[in-house]
Amino acid sequence: MGLTRYKGRPESTDGRLEKEIRVYDFLDSLGLEYERLDHDPAMTMEVCRDIDESLGAIICKNLFLCNRQKTKFYLLMIPDNKPFHTKELSAQIGSTRLSFADAAAMEAYLDITPGSVSVMGLMNDTEGHVRLLVDEDVLKEAYVGCHPCVNTSSLRLRTEDVFGPFLERTGHTMTVVHLDG
């Protein structure tokens, strides 16, 4: 694919959405190092695979889920090669059957639209509506790849930075899950 990695935020904000710039501001305020790739919209896991290979980071499926009553919301990070079965996850977190949450809830709580779901959206969930669920295999990798709330850029961050200082500042914790698929 021949993508170029850049250190840190873009030099210019021209043509970039405010929610993307807020991610860079947030990461910079924490003093976290990150690398960035700019690319065409990444709408499929196949495209994301090429991007994450260029980033040198684990490829995650980021799934925005809710319970049947649509009163509890979850962001699940799972390696892209693991199949997802709601029954397996529901039992671990003590929830009724899970389904995919709608775009309106995604935008309301994470300020993210379908195709750009990312752990970075938790910085926008200041009231703690979304519970982060992380498959244990994600935590075994040195780097995590994620979108900065838009799917035209991707970031590479140290796993320990995402699940340490970043999460702490957002006020969220994570629930580690074991999914066999």
pLDDT digits (tens, 9 = 90+) for 94-123: 988 899 999 999 999 999 999 899 999 999
Spatial distance between the Cα atoms of 87 and 13, rounded to a whole number of angstroms: 43
Strand duo 130-135 + 73-79: pairing? parallel
Q: What is the pLDDT of residues 16-26, one digit of tens each?
A: 999 999 999 99
Three-state SS at 64: strand
Structure tokens belonging to residue 84: 């997802």
This prediction's pTM:
0.93
Q: Does domain 6-177 have CATH number 3.50.50.60?
A: no
Contact assessment for residue 131 and residue 176, using Cβ atoms and an 8 Å cutoff: no
* Sequence spans of domains, the chain: 6-177
Report residue 129 as tokens.
């509506």
d(CA 117, CA 151): 8
Q: Distance between CA 181 and CA 161 in Å, rounded?
A: 27
